[in-house]
Chains A and B, each alone.
Chain A
């Protein structure tokens, strides 16, 4: 008999309301479990990649670089250097004799060819093993080229994706404080933990513009090296996505005293609440800000709500499962689905912490499955058990849903639709609606057979 859920995985699964939550998390993935999770390098790459005027050089064999080539929808309003895939493409001789010379030469030619404002050098597993001294090479190239060349210690095997976030933050922190901040407004923020997928940061920046708040640095969507350099001039850090950039905010708080707020631009409440929190923070410096923010939210909701109400009629009572990278996003999504009258019955994440899961248990309905570091068999098991109507995940999760005849919404770093802000909520609702309400599910065997059976029973009665 095969087992869907391995004994060693059981501690990473919990059901809301069934005893105290004590979920095991932040563990290494289990060998042979087919985890949906990537590696440290992946974590660093996600965070730093959108900095558009930096060179991102992957020091390692070719695969690591190719698989991360422009896979996300992180848009730039200017340079697009981030959309190219650079690699030292290590060969056997480099592995035997060391890759430092090649790395140096690669940086030399790439910096000359592209004139980046900075270069990030990512170490991959193999580099960790052959022991190249990234730090030394980067120091040397910083001097030679006159731009910051920053090592990102992201050897894949040295932990999970979370460890990669920290490595990325450490690399960025070296840039912070390198630029002049004399002209920064006292009513100013940095946007942390947003990657400008499909231009989402532009939506959020527009809200801040209307509120009268200056955005100093986007970290990192539509990011620029110079902005990161002057980000310490901002009065406040806004941190979205619990794992990715929180470390940077903490480092800045410690060194520059910059306070931070945790925000989310997903869903109605969280979006509005985030804007209100910012307004509240600045109300002493700018008393008009609260009024402007209220007006902004009111205007946006006026167009949004009637549309949502229309879709809600169809979606009421449908069931949702989600598996996302960071659990912070899950909080917002649970609330967003309530606006659509839908019920979340399973929620999982790749990198949640104990606190995250405890909070999820607080906001979900009894019986909801909470799961850390899942895999295809577990996901399909719970989708079936809960008889889900729509699944929210990323590219790797999509075929699992589709094979089971379940609607799908891509809500990962790879999505190409803007889902943040009020307009994003509308896009999100539309996407959910168009998938859940599609006629194709009538033909999917799992559903079709069930309908046929029901009809047969009705005829027999």
Chain B
């Protein structure tokens, strides 16, 4: 972690096995969490198809992402006409309530003016029953999928919530890139706090839907448009993330409508979950319901019961910046030493965020790395000798090479089943992560031991 070791590291020009995805993918996922919405990538066909494939492997759900499918001529003369034609076709086929339009590297580079195209489109086709059109600029040479996610959320808030709504006993939650199960858990929590919640986006149903009689064009669920429009009347906004951009959906609502923004970390682990429940108590004016007192108590009880199994284990954690912060906070609490915390994103203040959330509990400060790829992590990890790798599926190759167990958390999970149903948030999420990690350690101990203990 000292600056001396940092200077010694070669600064590679190329990226090998990136630990990030491109910006429009994050935007598409966020748009998928709005009722009646269809994501639309303004670019050439390949990008949309590749992202669909990638997302489908994780969620195992149909993921329709439209594209303006630009060809050579469009790339030279501008993609506006194809964009308009594409929106019309999507309207005909899907009858969406919202089309979430994200640019790609190509359309950013040729300099298409999407807001202008949309204005023209509204003028030209004003006689049709038009869906909401939200646009976000997502050049992938300038950020990662997480930026695309936050950008889309902010665009939706700013472009849809344009008037002050009547005050209501509501809370806005901007949950960051969490799982479908996480969103469902957040819904339950708010219900138990007797406060109506607008969770934006809400992928709990749209990306983890039930078996149905028919193929639905756009899956049901997602944040209703009316709810987004009503966000300006809520009691407060809670946005998860300690590495967020300066301006987000939450700050916009605060600035435009005075909705107080509570920016806290992803509620992973005990202390970060406490922050969340405190915020909810404040906004709802209600004390924490007993069931969460119990969950909290059970979590601490489990921490105690299991602490020896994991004490002093060394973990490498990687993935989305805020997930890494949350996981590191949690691991520090249970006595696991995070030896390296890495993300593919740059300039996110990861080091500060981690110092903040581990303050007072961590046994050591991890080596914090931004802008890493798996090649970098591999070079570090050889000397760090981790006992555990914690992150998404893409670390598998390395886990296998070092013969270290990989605890799969986050996105994407391509080599296991049920990634969309992993619970991370709240006391309950911490408990399930804890069980997973302790059992991973025990399993390793068992398989490494010739004795075969039946009681551990």
Residues of A within 8 A of B (CB): 2-4, 6, 8, 28-42, 57, 60-71, 83-92, 94-95, 102, 105-106, 109-110, 124-126, 128-130, 156-159, 376-377, 380, 383-384, 394-396, 398-400, 402-405, 443-446, 449
Contact between A84 and B16, CB atoms less than 8 A apart:
yes
Which of A6, A28, A403 is B211 in contact with, Cβ under 8 Å?
A: A403
Contact between B142 and A3, CB atoms less than 8 A apart:
no
CB contacts (< 8 Å) of B64 on chain A: these are: 34, 376-377
| Residue among B22, B24, B52, B105 with max Cβ neighbours from chain A (10 Å) | B105
- Interface segment, B79-87, B334-342, B355-363, B428-436? B79-87
B25 within 8 A of A: yes
Docked CA distance A277–B232 (Å): 73
B94 within 8 A of A: yes
A88 and B46 in contact, given A32-B88, A67-B54, A403-B215 (Cβ under 8 angstroms): no
CB contacts (< 8 Å) of A90 on chain B: these are: 105, 141
A32 and B95 in contact, given A87-B18, A156-B46 (Cβ under 8 angstroms): no
Docked CA distance A71–B209 (Å): 25
A32 and B90 in contact, given A60-B105, A398-B56 (Cβ under 8 angstroms): yes
List 15 interface pairs A-B (beta carbons < 8 Å), by A numbering.
A6-B93, A28-B45, A29-B45, A31-B86, A32-B69, A34-B64, A39-B47, A63-B47, A92-B141, A106-B14, A125-B46, A159-B71, A383-B215, A395-B56, A404-B215
1/0 per position for B35-75, CB-CB distance to A under 8 A? Answer: 00000100111111111111011001111111111111011
Residues of B within 8 A of A (CB): 12-18, 20-25, 40, 43-54, 56-57, 60-72, 74-75, 82-83, 85-90, 92-95, 104-106, 109-110, 139-142, 144, 209, 211-217, 394, 397
Contact between B45 and A39, CB atoms less than 8 A apart:
yes
Closest CB of chain A to B177's CB: distance in Å? 16
Contact between A2 and B16, CB atoms less than 8 A apart:
no
Contact between B88 and A85, CB atoms less than 8 A apart:
no
Closest CB of chain A to B179's CB: distance in Å? 17
Closest CB of chain B to A190's CB: distance in Å? 29
Question: Residue of B at shortest CB range from A373?
Answer: B45
Which of A8, A68, A126 is B141 in contact with, Cβ under 8 Å?
A: A126
CB contacts (< 8 Å) of B24 on chain A: these are: 63
Contact between A380 and B16, CB atoms less than 8 A apart:
no
Docked CA distance A129–B109 (Å): 7
A-B CB pair tally, cutoff 8 Å? 243
Which of A32, A130, A394 is B66 in contact with, Cβ under 8 Å?
A: A32
Closest CB of chain A to B90's CB: distance in Å? 4
Contact between B53 and A157, CB atoms less than 8 A apart:
no
Contact between A35 and B69, CB atoms less than 8 A apart:
yes
CB contacts (< 8 Å) of B92 on chain A: these are: 2-3, 6
Closest CB of chain B to A400's CB: distance in Å? 6
CB contacts (< 8 Å) of B211 on chain A: these are: 403, 405, 443-445
Contact between B51 and A158, CB atoms less than 8 A apart:
no
Docked CA distance A158–B73 (Å): 9
CB contacts (< 8 Å) of B397 on chain A: these are: 70, 83
Closest CB of chain A to B19's CB: distance in Å? 9
Contact between A89 and B18, CB atoms less than 8 A apart:
yes
Docked CA distance A35–B53 (Å): 12
Question: Residue of B at shortest CB range from A158?
Answer: B72
Docked CA distance A395–B54 (Å): 9
Docked CA distance A88–B389 (Å): 26
Contact between A89 and B95, CB atoms less than 8 A apart:
no
Question: Residue of A at shortest CB range from B344?
Answer: A62
CB contacts (< 8 Å) of A66 on chain B: these are: 18, 20-22, 54
Contact between B56 and A156, CB atoms less than 8 A apart:
no
Contact between B52 and A396, CB atoms less than 8 A apart:
yes
Docked CA distance A65–B105 (Å): 13
Contact between A396 and B66, CB atoms less than 8 A apart:
no
Closest CB of chain B to A323's CB: distance in Å? 13
Contact between B213 and A446, CB atoms less than 8 A apart:
yes
Docked CA distance A40–B75 (Å): 14
Contact between A63 and B72, CB atoms less than 8 A apart:
no
Docked CA distance A396–B63 (Å): 8
CB contacts (< 8 Å) of B109 on chain A: these are: 95, 126, 129-130
Question: Residue of B at shortest CB range from A67?
Answer: B50
Closest CB of chain A to B135's CB: distance in Å? 15
CB contacts (< 8 Å) of B52 on chain A: these are: 396
Contact between A395 and B20, CB atoms less than 8 A apart:
no
A449 and B89 in contact, given A88-B15, A157-B70 (Cβ under 8 angstroms): no
Contact between A2 and B46, CB atoms less than 8 A apart:
no
CB contacts (< 8 Å) of A445 on chain B: these are: 211-213
CB contacts (< 8 Å) of B49 on chain A: these are: 35-39, 42, 396
Contact between A399 and B18, CB atoms less than 8 A apart:
no
Query: Given A61-B140, A85-B16, A403-B215, list of 4 further CB < 8 A pairs?
Result: A39-B44, A125-B75, A402-B60, A446-B214
Contact between B105 and A376, CB atoms less than 8 A apart:
no
Closest CB of chain A to B328's CB: distance in Å? 24
CB contacts (< 8 Å) of B88 on chain A: these are: 32
Docked CA distance A442–B254 (Å): 51
CB contacts (< 8 Å) of A106 on chain B: these are: 13-14
Question: Residue of B at shortest CB range from A130?
Answer: B109
Docked CA distance A25–B72 (Å): 18
A6 and B25 in contact, given A88-B15, A129-B106, A405-B211 (Cβ under 8 angstroms): no
Contact between A87 and B14, CB atoms less than 8 A apart:
yes
CB contacts (< 8 Å) of A110 on chain B: these are: 14, 16
Contact between B16 and A157, CB atoms less than 8 A apart:
no
Question: Residue of B at shortest CB range from A378?
Answer: B93
Contact between B215 and A86, CB atoms less than 8 A apart:
no
Which of A31, A61, A84 is B22 in contact with, Cβ under 8 Å?
A: A61
CB contacts (< 8 Å) of B60 on chain A: these are: 398-399, 402
Contact between A92 and B142, CB atoms less than 8 A apart:
yes
A33 and B93 in contact, given A61-B141, A129-B75, A156-B44 (Cβ under 8 angstroms): yes
Closest CB of chain B to A354's CB: distance in Å? 20
CB contacts (< 8 Å) of B94 on chain A: these are: 2, 377
CB contacts (< 8 Å) of A377 on chain B: these are: 64, 93-94, 215, 217
| Residue among A34, A69, A84, A129 with max Cβ neighbours from chain B (10 Å) | A34
Docked CA distance A88–B163 (Å): 44
CB contacts (< 8 Å) of A89 on chain B: these are: 14-15, 18
CB contacts (< 8 Å) of B62 on chain A: these are: 376, 399-400, 403
| Residue among B54, B63, B74, B104 with max Cβ neighbours from chain A (10 Å) | B54
CB contacts (< 8 Å) of A35 on chain B: these are: 45, 49, 67, 69
CB contacts (< 8 Å) of A33 on chain B: these are: 66, 69, 89, 93
CB contacts (< 8 Å) of B215 on chain A: these are: 376-377, 380, 383-384, 400, 403-404
Contact between A156 and B53, CB atoms less than 8 A apart:
no
Docked CA distance A321–B50 (Å): 23
Closest CB of chain A to B361's CB: distance in Å? 34
Docked CA distance A2–B97 (Å): 13
Contact between A102 and B50, CB atoms less than 8 A apart:
no
CB contacts (< 8 Å) of A36 on chain B: these are: 49
CB contacts (< 8 Å) of A65 on chain B: these are: 15, 18
Contact between A157 and B105, CB atoms less than 8 A apart:
no
Docked CA distance A88–B140 (Å): 13
Closest CB of chain A to B114's CB: distance in Å? 14
Docked CA distance A89–B373 (Å): 11
Contact between B69 and A61, CB atoms less than 8 A apart:
no
Docked CA distance A42–B22 (Å): 16
Contact between A31 and B82, CB atoms less than 8 A apart:
yes
CB contacts (< 8 Å) of A380 on chain B: these are: 215
CB contacts (< 8 Å) of B68 on chain A: these are: 31-32
Closest CB of chain A to B127's CB: distance in Å? 17
Contact between B83 and A31, CB atoms less than 8 A apart:
yes
Closest 9 CB pairs of A and B: A39-B46, A63-B22, A32-B89, A32-B86, A31-B86, A106-B14, A67-B50, A380-B215, A157-B44
CB contacts (< 8 Å) of B95 on chain A: these are: 2
Closest CB of chain B to A93's CB: distance in Å? 9
Closest CB of chain A to B84's CB: distance in Å? 9
Docked CA distance A450–B447 (Å): 49
Contact between B71 and A157, CB atoms less than 8 A apart:
yes
